[in-house]
Amino acid sequence: MKRRIILVAGLHLTATDKAYINAILDAGQQTGHRKGGLHVTLQPTDKKSEIEHYRYSTIHWRRAQNLENHTVKGRLYAVEIRERDGRTTRHIVDIVEPK
């Protein structure tokens, strides 16, 4: 099922990342592994807790502002992508189910 994925707080998501998030949600899972060593974790979250998570960070304070200004259209998820070299990136996405 094709869902609309809106990046609320984070750097960027590639089309491959979005397709993989869709595949994980289609399977009804919260985690997934890709052949290249990519590990993706999805956690449902709420706006208030994520704003508190980023509010006092000197590096990511703008993410809290982006969350405050965003009108949630679907469900918020915290997406953690761990790459093969050990780097982990965390994004907040709004996933809108198709009608």
Residue by residue, DSSP assigns 32-66 as EE-TTS-EEEEEE--HHHHHHHHHT-SSSHHHHHH
pLDDT given for residue 91 in this prediction: 93
| Residue 42: strand pairing partners | 79
pLDDT tens, per residue, the chain with 99 residues: 789 999 999 888 988 888 889 999 999 999 998 877 889 999 999 999 888 888 888 888 888 899 999 999 999 999 999 988 889 999 999 999 988
Task: Please tell me the pTM assigned to this model.
Answer: 0.86
How far apart are alpha carbons 55 and 24 in whole angstroms?
A: 29
pLDDT given for residue 43 in this prediction: 94
The enclosing H or E element of 16 equals helix 15-26
